[in-house]
Structure 1
Amino acid sequence: MPRKLYLGPLTDNRRWDKFSARADDIYVVTPPKCGTTWMQTIVALLLSGDPEVEPELSIKMPWIDIRIREMEDVVGRLEAMTHRRAVKSHTPLDGLPYRKDGQFICVFRHPLDAHFSFRKHVRNVPVGGFELFYPEDDTTGIAFRRFLDGGAEGFDMDAMPLAHILRHYEAALALKDQPNVSLFHYADMSADLAGTMARVADLLGISHSADLMARLVKAATFDNMKAHADRFAPSGGKGFFKSDSAFFESGASGKWEGVLSQAEIAAYDAAMDSALKKDTRRWLEFGQGA
């Protein structure tokens, strides 16, 4: 099946054409602010077996789609790696060169939590262009309206509208029965981090002693990552973000409660109900614990 084209202000999924895959590659594929860095950190910890590992995610587990880095440089670093590789993508699976080998790990989060986390995120990045979707002084509720009416691809997609999250989810569901495609949920990761890491380890064929796994789990907790944000944030310690710690602003759920009006919630519910069946909507919002 031909790949869909995803071109946005930050995203160009044609960059994958220059990527030479290896059979044991790991692909972390998520919408933004849904647990990407968390899952990458889990993978880094499991691969290294070192609770003190320096993840250096932007370099060691690069975001393939983003235009900011020259693809030739990214490819050069990946080709030089002699260890097992992992890469990141914010492009839906139908825009990636899916393969029968490798492991594709897809992570999702309640769309409203992701949206409110993204609102904070755009204030912390030195990248312009988000003002149309996320004005500094949003007195009219334009950010949420753009979230609901934005398109899944093109100019809108890098501002992470609901349609883009749904496209990610639909593309992952279409491949969920493949043995190398796995869906994870942020809420489940929060509720049972040890269980999540055991599942990822099993998928990757990695085994560590119980004592070491406990130490790796502790290193992967949200509190530890936030406390050592210069180490765990993408490009942490390099001055890319205004605040590395603010990258881990809050791992809480229910961010929209008491913020959105009843009319806004009703509009969101209508959009979700028209796109998803009841059980698939419930999982996207709440995970297995729903």
Structure 2
Amino acid sequence: MADPSFYHLYQGMYLPKFFHTLEALKRWEDFTFRRDDVIVATYPKSGTNWALEIAPLVLSGGDPTVVNSVATWERTICIGNEKALSMDLENLPSPRIFSTHFYYHVMPKSFYQVKPKVINVLRNPKDILVSAFHYYGNVEYHANPGTLTEFLNKFLEGNVPFGSWFDHVKGWLNPEDKSHILYLSFEEMLQAQDLRQEVRRTAEFLEKPLEEEVIDRITDRCLFKNMKKHNNKAPSDLDHSKFFRKGIAGDWKNHLSEEDAQHFDCVYKDKMKDVHFKFAWD
């Protein structure tokens, strides 16, 4: 299991105590969503901050004022985070933007009744593994991941922050009603032309018609190299640079041994055998 000195075990997920308290989690269970809320729901290191850059730019019609002046986690409501409940959420103007790494079945009760809009970003889990390994070993609010092979085994067993990647992805892919969920691909967002298409899809999903010139500006702003530069300059009490590493696909090949990669593939094949979804990395 994950180190209990760093994490709470909450409904099958290991949540970092630095961000989540049991009291706050309990209060969030009765939170009431609005139909026009926007939720970025991702497994960690899947492109969360990327989607949290695109969504507000689309909603603002390309105006970068807010994203330039306010750090991502200070303008985003993190579900289950105690800090967010100190905000006057009821009086925040719509659309409110939330983020979460929760499993689908662990969302607050009103989520399933109201069905707010959800943006879900999917990324190759082997790249997530490598990115999370470096990130968790570089911040003080996560337990040391150990060696890469040790962390790989914990990852495959779900004994890592926010639980199993397999359970998370399958849960968000399998709701009976997917009409309020948009699936984006991390791998496709890496290419400028594909990113432009993902920006357009996001605008259509959020029912925010944009001129082609605005889509071009948002796309340029959200290229990984530009987004990393802008976010590192945003004011915050946290170091933004730790949230952005290489922003590439296939980096796992530079880190995993052949034996570890084969072990990962074997577990992946077994756990995902009943999932019928075209992933960009397949």
What TM-score does the superposition give when structure 1 sets the normalisation length? Answer: 0.80
Residue 197 of structure 1 aligns with which residue?
199
Distance 1:15 1:271, change over 3 A: farther
1:249 to 221, 224, 245: 245
> How far apart, CA to CA, are the structure 2 residues paired with 1:71 and 1:18?
14
> How far apart, CA to CA, are the structure 2 residues paired with 1:65 and 1:214?
35
> What is the correspondence of 1:1-290 to structure 2 with a 5 Å cutoff?
5-10=11-16, 13-55=25-67, 56-66=71-81, 69-70=82-83, 72-74=85-87, 76=88, 78-96=89-107, 97-128=111-142, 130-131=143-144, 134-135=145-146, 138=147, 141-149=149-157, 151=158, 156-158=159-161, 164-175=164-175, 177-191=177-191, 192-231=194-233, 236-241=234-239, 244-277=240-273, 280=276, 283=279, 286=281, 290=282
> How far apart, CA to CA, are the structure 2 residues paired with 1:262 and 1:92?
31
How far is the alpha carbon of 1:259 from its aligned partner? 2.4
- Cα pair 1:34 1:109 within 8 Å, conserved: yes
Residue 7 of structure 2 aligns with which residue?
none
Distance 1:198 1:31, change over 3 A: same
Letter paired with 1:92: Y
How far is the alpha carbon of 1:203 from its aligned partner? 0.7
Secondary structure in 1 aligned to 2:39?
A: strand
Secondary structure in 2 aligned to 1:257?
A: helix
How far is the alpha carbon of 1:277 from its aligned partner? 2.5
Distance 1:263 1:124, change over 3 A: closer
Distance 1:142 1:178, change over 3 A: closer
Moved beyond 6 Å, runs of 4+? none
Distance 1:109 1:176, change over 3 A: farther
Deviations 1:64-118, CA, capped at 9 Å, x for gaps = 123xx345304x2x22212311100000111113235321111110001011111
Secondary structure in 1 aligned to 2:209?
A: coil
Deviations 1:109-129, CA, capped at 9 Å, x for gaps = 00010111112212443314x
Q: Is there any run of 5+ residues in structure 1 with no aligned partner, and where?
A: none
Q: Is there any run of 5+ residues in structure 2 with no aligned partner, and where?
A: 1-9
Secondary structure in 1 aligned to 2:73?
A: helix
How far is the alpha carbon of 1:169 from its aligned partner? 1.2
Secondary structure in 2 aligned to 1:19?
A: coil
How far is the alpha carbon of 1:279 from its aligned partner? 6.9
- Cα pair 2:154 2:160 within 8 Å, conserved: no
Deviations 1:221-240, CA, capped at 9 Å, x for gaps = 11111122234xxxx43241
How far is the alpha carbon of 1:21 from its aligned partner? 0.9
Residue 4 of structure 2 aligns with which residue?
none
Distance 1:282 1:181, change over 3 A: closer
Aligned length: 259
Secondary structure in 2 aligned to 1:179?
A: coil
> How far apart, CA to CA, are the structure 2 residues paired with 1:8 and 1:27?
21
> How far apart, CA to CA, are the structure 2 residues paired with 1:172 and 1:54?
29
What TM-score does the superposition give when structure 2 sets the normalisation length? Answer: 0.82
- Cα pair 1:109 1:186 within 8 Å, conserved: yes
- Cα pair 1:125 1:240 within 8 Å, conserved: no
* Fraction of identical pairs, as percent: 23
